[in-house]
Structures are given as structure tokens and as C-alpha cells.
Amino acid sequence: MATLTSSPAVRGSATESRHLLGWTLTLAFGLAAPWFIYPTFLMKVLCFALFASAFNLLLGFAGLLSFGHAAFFGASAYVCAGLAKNLGLSPELSILGGTAVAAALGALFGWLSIRRSGIYLTMITLALAQLVFFVALQMPFTGGEDGLQGVPRGALLGLLPLGDNQAMYYFVFTVCGAGFWLIRRTVHSPYGQVLKAIRENEPRAISLGYDVNRYKLLAFVLSAGLAGTAGALKALVFQLASLTDVHWHMSGEVVLMTLLGGLGTLLGPAVGALVIVTLENELADKVGPWVTVIMGAIFVVCVLAFRRGIVGELLALRGPRSDTPPGGGH
């Protein structure tokens, strides 16, 4: 006979309680963090955590490996910086402009690439991203190799100046929190379940009547838009948009963050971003250009030793959690 404590309702209630406690602790830590940790470092972690989570939405849940996410990240950074510096728009409008351009690029990349799969899709996104890189390098309004420097942070809604790092941090924390919430809602929605079905068995999803290309295209747009939001935030935080943001190396870095933290998990990309950004900050002054070599070694160890990533391995240690009631079920 099933006991009360083993019933699905009780287990579901306990899971919801743990999730609520986790979100509450995260919110409390996020609000208190800038008082004892350097705010600029925290903002960099948040921007890359959102970037990696956006990439994970496409690869981890839709099964589409894009090597062109630097194009969305960097293009949005340039647009946001240009709108804020040259047109004097407020930060929220500059970010919305950058996000819209990134989403449009995502629609274009997706429309051109989803007709192929596997390595062919990846190569198409990489080639398109390189086109965006050369546009950023050659066009006069991007500043060429110097980029756009001295980007003003402005005042939020024309009322709250963001020149102070702590004020800027809470703005970034709020926007990134909204981005993480959107990703979580997407993954747990019926649309997210269809994405997982397409990832696991695309022919079966087609046989069930789903228009898989439409679902893939929407995933591209969502992922690109969120990556663009991260890029726009980074441009305002560091008051700079440069070729580094749109270089293919940035695409490789976000792949590393996602795989290191845990592909296909909600928390993994954020953990991977925290690890990589921390290592870069700590090692940059000590080993100089060898940071890239160390990152490569970490990637190799990650792939060989724990393929699920940090969060994936921790979840595996907890063991499978069945939602099937005792005594069986269908």
C-alpha cells in the first residue's frame, strides 16, 4: 500500500517547496551580492550567464548546434551602443533595439540553416556569423578595430541614472532575472515539450503532425533575442562594443560555458559562466595569453571526465526521481 509520504501529490508539493526556497535564496543573494562582491564582476557573470542560457535553449532543448551566437551577441552590442551614443536613446530603448536586431538576425540565420541538420547546420551558422564579423570590421559606424567606446549608460526611464555601478547592477540583475524566467517558462511550456520531442526523435514529431521547421525557427529567434539582450547589457556595463563581442571565439566560449555547466539543464549554463568568468578574471594577470590554453584544457577534461557537466553530474548523483506512483501506473 502506498504511504502518504510517497504519494505523487506530496512529492510534487515537496519539489515545489524546494524550488521556491531555491528561488528565494537566489533572489536574496542577488540583492545582497553587490555589497560584498565587485559589482562589475557580478554584472559580467550575469551577462554571460544569460548568453549561455540562451544558447542552451537552442542546443540543450532543441538539439540545434549554432556556432553563430557571437553574431547575435555582438550585433546587439553594436546596435545598443550606437543608439545610446549616437542617438542619445535611453538604456531601455537601446537594449530593446539591440534585442530586436538580434532576433531579426536569428530569424534570418534560422530560416537559412534549419533546412539542414548536424554539421551542415553548424557550418551555415558559422559562415553567416563570419559575414557579420566582417561587416562589423569594415563599416564606419562600428568604429572598426577600435569599436564603439565611451558608451553612456544614461538614465533608466529618464529618471534613474545608471552611472553608479550598484544602480547598474540592480538593473542588469532585473533584466537577466526576467530572461531566466522566460527561458524556464519556455522550457516547461507545451512548446518546450515539443522542442524536446524534436530533439529526441524528429521523424516521430513530424509523424505526429508538428511543423518542426516552424518550431526550430521560433527557437532560433528566442535564443538569438535573449543572446542579444545579454550583448546589449554587456555593452552598457563596460561602455564598449568591440570586435571581440562578434568574433567566432565568443561562440566557442559560450559552447564551453554551456558544456562545462551542464547541457540541457536550466542552471548549468549559469554555473559554467560563473566558472569561466572567474577563471578568466583570476588568471588574466597571472598567466596572460595562456588563459586560452587553460580554458582548452578545462574543456578537454570536462568532455572526458564528466560529460554531463557540473550541474548534470550533481543531478545524476541524486539518482532518478520517478513520478510513477507506487504499484505501477501507465
What single DSSP character describes residue 240? E
List the beta bridge partners of residue 149: 240
The predicted pLDDT at position 102 comes to 92
Give backbone dihedrals phi and psi of 179, rounded to 5 degrees, phi first: -65, -45
Q: Give the position of cell 504499484.
A: 327
pTM equals: 0.86
Cell numbers given for 319? 539518482
What single DSSP character describes residue 161? E
DSSP-derived 3-state class of residue 213: helix
List the beta bridge partners of residue 155: 161
The predicted pLDDT at position 9 comes to 56
* Angle, alpha carbons 247-285-240 (nearest 5°): 40
The predicted pLDDT at position 103 comes to 93
Closest CA relative to residue 232, chosen from 102, 140, 135, 136: 102
Residue pair 228/98 in contact (Cβ under 8 Å)? The answer is yes
Q: Give the position of cell 556595463.
A: 237
Rounded distance between C-alpha atoms, residue 115 and residue 200, angstroms = 18
* pLDDT by position in tens, the chain (length 330): 444 445 555 555 666 676 677 677 777 877 777 788 888 888 999 999 999 999 999 888 888 888 888 999 999 999 998 888 888 888 889 999 999 999 999 999 989 888 887 888 889 889 998 998 888 888 888 877 777 888 888 778 777 777 788 888 888 999 998 999 999 999 988 988 888 888 888 888 888 888 888 888 999 999 999 999 999 999 998 888 888 888 888 888 888 888 888 888 888 888 888 988 888 887 777 776 777 788 778 778 877 877 777 887 777 777 654 443 334 444
Q: H-helix or E-strand containing 156?
A: strand 155-156
Cell numbers given for 135? 561587416
What single DSSP character describes residue 4? G
Rounded distance between C-alpha atoms, residue 321 and residue 4, angstroms = 17
